[in-house]
């Protein structure tokens, strides 16, 4: 029986990763901050699929959270065959008006925790000559995005880091594959969360389901792909970014975001 660890398993795409993996017979380690929510999800997955589920509450914005999480899995004798670095957060808005601490937390969760977990578990997997890692980036990784500039930069980091590491691990014959998943707009709470600063209105028809994104990500990772962009429209968007200079892309994205960003009504 293989075991998968999913960060950000309490909601959105992470919850869908967990459901799909349980339905395929994976034992699970569910990680997020909200322990009570994870316990409920765990009880449902155990009842529905007869898999083993371990819940680990962790705030990945805290210093050395990744190291503590890795240590917990080791102490509990849990061997991770499939790591999904999915936890992430988004802040929209005008750079100088956004709270700096919140931006720092976003950078820590989206980049530092993901990198540390990849390092710790990739080493462990390489010692067994097998394992899969799926790092959740975004279509935002493919261009500079005004009014979402740090988020897009964190995802550009994830994409670049993962593509380079994919080649490195393959060339060294480690038996470990690593894949960057780049979803476009996906229907989760992330798209409608007052904590994120400003709300982005997404035109009809541009939103994918979290279940579809998760399924495509898992399949691409198990096939050992370096990068996967779910959905034809998203793949087309990523492809045409190569036709423009970065500053032209920033101008295009900037005018789209300025037109479609608004404050949450509760603010």
Ligand X SMILES: NC(=O)c1ccc[n+]([C@@H]2O[C@H](COP(=O)([O-])OP(=O)(O)OC[C@H]3O[C@@H](n4cnc5c(N)ncnc54)[C@H](OP(=O)(O)O)[C@@H]3O)[C@@H](O)[C@H]2O)c1
Number of residues binding to ligand X, judged by CB under 6 A: 30
Select from 5, 14, 21, 118 the one that contacts ligand X (CB under 6 A).
14
Site for ligand X in 207-266 (CB under 6 A): none
- Residue 88 touching ligand X (CB under 6 A): yes
Fill in the DSSP letter of residue 168: H
Angle value at C-alpha 196, between 191 and 200, nearest 5 degrees: 45
Instruction: Please say if 155 is a catalytic residue.
Output: yes
Distance CA 175, CA 49 (A): 28
Structure tokens at 162: 């993962």
Assign residue 266 a region: left if phi > 0, alpha if psi is -120 to 50, beta otherwise? alpha
Axis crossing angle, helix 149-171 with helix 100-107, rounded to the nearest 10: 10
Local structure of residue 97 (DSSP, 8 states): G
Asked if residues 187 and 207 have their Cβ atoms less than 8 Å apart, the reply is: yes
Contact between 11 and ligand X per CB under 6 A? yes
Q: Which of 19, 26, 155, 185 is catalytic?
A: 155
Site for ligand X in 25-64 (CB under 6 A): 32-34, 37, 58-61
* Contact call for residue 18 and ligand X (CB under 6 A): no
Q: Does the footprint of ligand X cover residue 188 (CB under 6 A)?
A: yes
Of 59 and 104, which CB lies nearer to ligand X in the complex structure? 59
Given a contact cutoff of 8 angstroms between Cβ atoms, the answer to whether 129 and 175 are in contact is yes
Residue 37 or 78: which CB sits closer to ligand X? 37
Binding site for ligand X (CB under 6 A): 7-8, 10-14, 32-34, 37, 58-61, 86-90, 109, 136, 138, 183, 185-186, 188-191
Q: Give catalytic residue positions.
A: 151, 155
């Amino acid at each position: 029986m293989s075991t998968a660890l999913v960060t950000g398993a309490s909601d959105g795409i992470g919850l869908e990763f967990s459901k799909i993996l349980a339905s395929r017979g994976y034992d699970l380690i569910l990680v997020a901050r909200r322990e009570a929510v994870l316990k409920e999800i765990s009880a449902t997955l155990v009842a529905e699929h007869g898999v083993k589920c371990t819940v680990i509450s962790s705030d990945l914005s805290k210093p050395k959270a990744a190291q503590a999480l890795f240590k917990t899995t080791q102490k509990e004798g849990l061997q991770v065959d499939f790591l999904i670095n999915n936890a992430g957060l988004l802040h929209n808005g005008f750079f100088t008006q956004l709270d700096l601490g919140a931006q720092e937390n976003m950078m820590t969760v989206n980049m530092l925790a993901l990198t540390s977990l990849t390092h710790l578990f990739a080493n462990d997997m390489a010692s067994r000559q097998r394992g899969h890692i799926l790092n959740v980036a975004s279509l935002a990784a493919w261009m500079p995005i005004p009014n979402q500039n740090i988020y897009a930069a964190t995802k550009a980091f994830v994409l670049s880091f993962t593509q380079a590491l994919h080649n490195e691990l393959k060339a060294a014959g480690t038996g470990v594959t690593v894949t960057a998943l780049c979803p476009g707009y996906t229907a989760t709470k992330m798209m409608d969360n007052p904590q994120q600063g400003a709300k982005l209105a997404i035109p009809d028809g541009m939103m994918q389901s979290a279940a579809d994104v998760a399924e495509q990500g898992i399949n691409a990772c198990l096939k050992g792909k370096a990068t996967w962009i779910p959905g034809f429209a998203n793949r087309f968007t990523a492809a045409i970014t190569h036709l423009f200079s970065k500053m032209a892309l920033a101008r295009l994205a900037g005018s789209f975001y300025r037109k479609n960003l608004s404050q949450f009504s509760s603010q």
